[in-house]
Structure 1
Amino acid sequence: MNRKTLSLADWQQQQQSDTPRSAPVTSTSENLIYSTDGGNLTQPKPAKAGGEAYADGKVRLQRQTKKRGGKAVIVVRGIAKSHDELTVICKALKQSCACGGTVKDGTIELQNDQRERVEEALKKLGYSTLWAGG
């Protein structure tokens, strides 16, 4: 048996000389598989909606139980302020009513059915209220 032993360096050199060098592949949109071009692909977050006032200037209070498993929520509409100012008003209402709540799409939603407390707290803040929806 005649075996010729090659060192690793000789074998690598032999492999490099056997493979022909090809021209670099230019990418086009047809054969593009992955690209890091395109910059920042995250979309900017839209500005949060503020409230809109009604023509008579009164704040509407409405009791809702839709899609909430039968639990009552007081929805406050008609305060023409920015989202940040509505958040401050919501915090004051939550503290006076001792309940949870949030600001969604320019309205304030307060948990539990505490109509009188919400109405009193809004009057202390200088808003005239009107019950809507029954």
Structure 2
Amino acid sequence: MANAASGFAVDDDCKLKFLELKAKRTYRFIVFKIEEEQKQVIVEKLGEPAESYENFTASLPADECRYAVYDFDFVTEENCQKSRIFFIAWSPDTSRVRSKMIYASSKDRFKRELDGIQVELQATDPTEIGLDVIKSRAS
């Protein structure tokens, strides 16, 4: 089912892998890429549960847009173990204008396909998705 605004379909694998992250915690993170030739959003990288936040941020290209989902574990002030699922729209300043426009126009529809997102972040450089930002947005 293509998005009228941008014409991109969401590959079923995207939804399937997201459900596995959400329900079974099979992955720590998922990086999604818009494949312009195939006119669809695909899974580019899956992060194993043991991978760190640094592994996640390192998997985002420095000059290309991506969508990503990150399952963040933290401990509350009451000492409760919790997790939040973050949706990150990665759109670095150095990426192509066309790419930024495509990702921006497709974001809301793609995000709707992933039921269970708790926090959304829009980032144009690594400081906007630093671990301190994630921690402050999680609680």
TM-score range, shorter chain: under 0.3
* TM-score, structure 2 as length reference: 0.25
Higher strand share: 2
